[in-house]
Amino acid sequence: MTTPRALVAGNWKMNGVAANLAEIEKLNGLIAEGGANCDVLVCPPFTLIHQSLQVADDRVDIGAQDCHANFSGAHTGDIAAGMLQDQGCKYVIVGHSERRTDHHEHSELVSEKAKAVQETGLIAIICVGETEGERDGGNTLPVVTTQVRDSIPADATADNTVIAYEPVWAIGTGRTPTIADVAEVHAAVRQVLVERFGDSGNTIRILYGGSVKPENARELMSVENVNGALVGGASLKADSFYGIIQAYD
């Protein structure tokens, strides 16, 4: 079985102005000098997508942090997947825990968004993960596997879909699950993908996210069924983000 090429994706969230584009330029240089044995992605806020695409070279892909499930219409303030494709984006994150919590997005809506992304020709990064209460209650695997089943469209393939497991309680807190915990959840997600899509489920990338930093990246990225990382705060600075990319040296 061929291991999928790893993806290290940076989610800038609601951070960044034009001055921060210098970090993408610096990342270009770091990769040009030291290489990258993985795909590299930066997802800036909507306001910086156009400029990011102008700054990034072919070593760094640019994506978006969300989109609407519809292709157009009376949805003031929303962005359609086709608009992101028109700008030059390659990936769109959907179903991030902050969207699920702050905007009350449910898995069925996440699936609709992912389908819109895929039908536009882009790659959907579908986020799943449990809260601290769900983990403490022993419900991690039921919660995460149900989210995967309900959030992933029927026509998902390795070419248009990435899954990102992010334990909600670990995002931005400095806490991370044990290596055994990460291995257990990623194995369970892989099993759902294989049950749903057969052998091709083995080729869909599963990223780990949640306080990933250069100090722990190599250990986390070596876990079976971990095919890369979805990085938050550490992706805002080129040096720390590249430190995570180097886990694949």
Annotated active-site positions, please? 96, 166
Of 240, 189, 249, which is closest to residue 221 (Cα–Cα)? 249
For 132, the enclosing helix (H) or strand (E) is: helix 132-136
What are the tokens at 226? 């971990």
Q: What are the CA-CA distances from residue 187 to residues 129, 150, 167 (Å)?
A: 14, 18, 15
The answer for residues whose C-beta is within 8 angstroms of residue 249's C-beta and 6 or more apart is: 35, 37
Q: Which two tokens stand for residue 171?
A: 């995002």
**Amino acid at the residue 96:** H
